[in-house]
């Protein structure tokens, strides 16, 4: 993606982009974007820094396996290494989806599965910074996986996908047990009609059949460290707050149903189920394209898409992030895409137009991403977020002797702070400053200038989360005497 940001901003982002921040109860938010791919590390970091400036803290790229391949090309491996290294430098979690490009290349034989697994293992062996691997893409759809059903109408795709997932899991773990293997990447809907024109599985049936296949296999090891679910709404005009209790679809608001399905499929086996971390691997809201940008796009928008204005797009992204934030086992959420596709039949769900210029939704989405990372996107019942400092420097005795009293710090989440200079013997407050800060901000709190009488003093810093507060975190500096 060639985001229209100035070179100076790229340099600024490279110098000052914060390390990966813990997002609330644990969720890290980002986007799907192959545009961070680059043939040189310098270019990859420039693209990653621009990506990070938009508020994204995770990215998913793709690497396509073809029958006969047992490793990526040298160029592909170098690109993936650059992306992974740039992600580490800019504090962006990087996922790579290893997938076949379509149903004609479905890896169904032992030989094909072995080749696919070797290809995935070669990525993490040759690009050590790549540690999050998603196996396949939407295997419940005939677009990516055939056959979906056997001739007798029984499910085939879940069984065959499980065989691929298990073999790839073992190959990746043989390279390093620290590699995280993500299974599923399942589409949010499907027909469950074996005799239909386009036979597909709903996520509900696919998960159930995946569990049955796992139990029938007799396997005593897991096949995944986390489960990936795509959670698009029925169309872009539908709010992500709409649940599907009476259908087999799964959206963001269907979290309880998804957890129950994973529990039904795997609880009581070697594969965790209801406690399995969940990644919302794709969620997108398509926006209407203004006349001033229409020349950038080709083709016609499908009538079923129902794109929304950019204000609504930003609102729906914020709503989805707020829902996911309060769902205990959801670990990551990825917006699909960061930048629009040019083809109207594709996806115009980015916060950038096809030419890389920002939409009016971009500032609001960036703010929502930051508040998710800061733990303030929503109040979650029962969630208490302790705040810690990532930087802390209390004022010195020599500065106090000059009548200057300052404390510098950063919070690992959004925070409210109270800085005090107290009498160390009586704990009475002599000077104080209060305020609030966003995650990663460097606060330089000045307590004013004043000459204090002889005595022993100490700085204290009290931190509390503004939306999901845990008991306050209190840090105290060393005692010092004046004069």
Token representation of residue 461: 């810093």
The answer for residues whose C-beta is within 8 angstroms of residue 462's C-beta and 6 or more apart is 417, 418, 419, 420, 472, 473, 474
> Can you tell me the distance from the alpha carbon of 340 to that of 326, in angstroms, rounded to the nearest whole number?
28
Q: What CA–CA distances, in Å, run from 251 to 180, 245, 334, 422?
A: 24, 10, 13, 52
Place of tokens 């390093």: 176
Token representation of residue 383: 């969630």
H or E stretch at 116? helix 110-126
The per-residue pLDDT string of the chain (483 residues; one tens digit each, 9 = 90 and over) reads: 333 333 332 333 332 333 333 334 579 999 999 999 999 999 999 999 999 999 999 999 999 999 999 999 999 999 999 999 999 999 999 999 999 999 999 999 999 999 999 999 999 999 999 999 999 999 999 999 999 999 999 999 999 999 999 999 999 999 999 999 999 999 999 999 999 899 999 999 999 999 999 999 999 999 999 999 999 999 999 999 999 999 999 999 999 999 999 999 999 999 999 999 999 999 999 999 999 999 999 999 999 999 999 999 999 999 999 999 999 999 999 999 999 999 999 999 999 999 999 999 999 999 999 999 999 999 999 999 999 999 999 999 999 999 999 999 999 999 999 999 999 999 999 999 999 999 999 999 999 888 899 999 999 999 999 999 999 999 999 999 998
Q: What CA–CA distances, in Å, run from 366 to 106, 148, 153, 361, 377?
A: 37, 39, 46, 9, 12
Does residue 337 have a cis bond before it (omega within 30 degrees)?
Answer: yes
The pTM for the full model equals 0.92
């Amino acid at each position: 993606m060639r985001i229209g940001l100035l070179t100076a901003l790229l340099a600024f982002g490279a110098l000052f982009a914060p390390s990966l921040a813990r997002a609330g109860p644990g969720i890290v938010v980002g986007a799907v974007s192959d545009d961070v791919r680059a043939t040189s590390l310098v270019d990859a970091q420039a693209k990653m820094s621009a990506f990070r400036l938009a508020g994204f803290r995770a990215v998913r790229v793709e690497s396509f396996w073809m029958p006969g391949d047992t490793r990526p090309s040298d160029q592909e491996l170098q690109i993936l290494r650059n992306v992974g290294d740039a992600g580490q430098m800019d504090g962006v979690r990087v996922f790579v989806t290893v997938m076949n490009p379509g149903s004609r290349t479905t890896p169904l034989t032992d030989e094909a599965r072995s080749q696919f697994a070797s290809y995935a293992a070669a990525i993490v062996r040759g690009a050590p910074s790549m540690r999050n691997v998603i196996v396949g893409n939407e295997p419940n759809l005939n677009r990516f996986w055939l056959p979906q059903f056997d001739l007798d109408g029984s499910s085939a795709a879940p069984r065959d996908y499980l065989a691929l997932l298990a073999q790839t899991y073992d190959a990746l773990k043989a390279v390093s047990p620290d590699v995280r293997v993500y299974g599923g990447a399942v589409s949010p809907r499907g027909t469950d009609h074996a005799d239909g024109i386009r036979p597909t599985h709903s996520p509900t049936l696919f998960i159930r059949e995946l569990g049955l296949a796992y139990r029938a296999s007799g396997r005593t090891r897991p096949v995944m460290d986390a489960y990936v679910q795509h959670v698009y709404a029925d169309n872009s005009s539908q709010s992500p707050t709409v649940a599907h209790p009476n259908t087999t679809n799964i959206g963001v608001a269907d979290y309880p149903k998804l957890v129950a399905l994973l529990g039904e499929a795997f609880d009581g086996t070697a594969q965790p189920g209801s406690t399995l971390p969940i990644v919302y691997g794709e969620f997108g809201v398509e926006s209407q394209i203004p006349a001033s940008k229409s020349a950038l796009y080709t083709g016609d928008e499908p009538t079923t898409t129902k794109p929304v204005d950019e204000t609504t797009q930003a609102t729906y992204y914020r709503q989805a992030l707020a829902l996911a934030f309060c769902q205990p086992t959801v670990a990551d959420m990825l917006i699909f895409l960061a930048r629009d596709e040019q083809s109207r039949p594709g996806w115009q769900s980015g916060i950038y137009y096809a030419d890389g210029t920002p939409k009016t939704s971009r500032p609001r989405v960036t703010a929502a991403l930051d508040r998710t990372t800061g733990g303030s996107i929503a109040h979650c019942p029962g969630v208490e977020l302790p705040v810690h400092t990532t930087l802390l420097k209390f004022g010195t005795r020599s500065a106090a002797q000059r009548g200057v009293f300052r404390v510098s710090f950063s919070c690992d989440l959004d925070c409210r702070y109270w800085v005090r200079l107290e009498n160390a013997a009586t704990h009475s407050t002599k000077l104080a400053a209060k305020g609030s800060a966003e995650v990663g901000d460097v606060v330089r709190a000045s307590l004013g200038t004043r000459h204090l009488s002889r005595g022993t003093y100490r700085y204290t810093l009290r931190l509390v989360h503004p939306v999901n507060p845990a008991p306050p975190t209190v840090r105290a500096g060393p005692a010092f005497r004046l004069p």
